[in-house]
């Protein structure tokens, strides 16, 4: 069993339940002692942009911003797909604290030695 977990997410604010659930699962994985990384693809890169996840809430009551704050406080990497972000005119300067751009190569490398949960 691996101690590495990669959470991938491809939807953004259009699906608050899935989007919030990804950050919830990342938080749980981290609390369970796993080396956790969140990788945002497609419209999910909007969630790494400052201010866009501030009011995102799942039907369960989980609040994305609270979960992201936990991940930031514990230095859990949040990576935004570089070409996905560029296509949506999101730059590195637009990203929330603790987030950075990431490449497909990096996602593959992370995934080869990890349990991957895709939402």
CATH number at residue 31: 3.40.1260.10
Alpha-carbon distance of 77 to 8, in angstroms, equals 12
Residue-level pLDDT at 2 = 80
Q: Give the total number of structural domains in the chain.
A: 1
Range of the domain at 105: 4-118
What does the alpha-carbon distance between residue 61 and residue 66 come to, in Å, rounded to a whole number? 11
pLDDT digits (tens, 9 = 90+) for 27-42: 999 999 999 999 999 9
Mean confidence (pLDDT) of the chain: 95
Task: Give the pLDDT mean for 19-25.
Answer: 96
Write the pLDDT tens digit of every residue in 77-106.
999 999 999 999 999 999 999 999 999 999
Question: Tell me, what's the pLDDT at 50?
Answer: 95
Angle in degrees, 0-180, between the axes of helices 64-73 and 16-31, rounded to the nearest 10? 30
Q: How many angstroms from the chain centroid is the CA of residue 98?
A: 11
46 torsion bin: left (phi>0), alpha (psi -120 to 50), beta (else): alpha
């Amino acid at each position: 069993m691996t101690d590495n977990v990669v959470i991938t997410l491809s939807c953004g604010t259009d699906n608050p339940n899935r989007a919030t659930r990804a950050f919830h699962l990342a938080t749980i994985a981290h609390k369970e002692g796993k080396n956790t990384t969140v990788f945002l693809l497609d419209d999910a890169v909007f969630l790494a942009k400052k201010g866009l996840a501030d009011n995102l809430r799942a039907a369960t009551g989980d609040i994305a911003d609270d979960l992201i704050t936990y991940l930031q406080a514990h230095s859990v990497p949040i990576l935004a797909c570089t070409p996905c972000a560029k296509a949506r005119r999101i730059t590195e300067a637009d990203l929330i604290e603790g987030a950075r751009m990431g490449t497909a190569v990096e996602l593959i490398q992370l995934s080869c030695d990890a349990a991957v949960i895709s939402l």
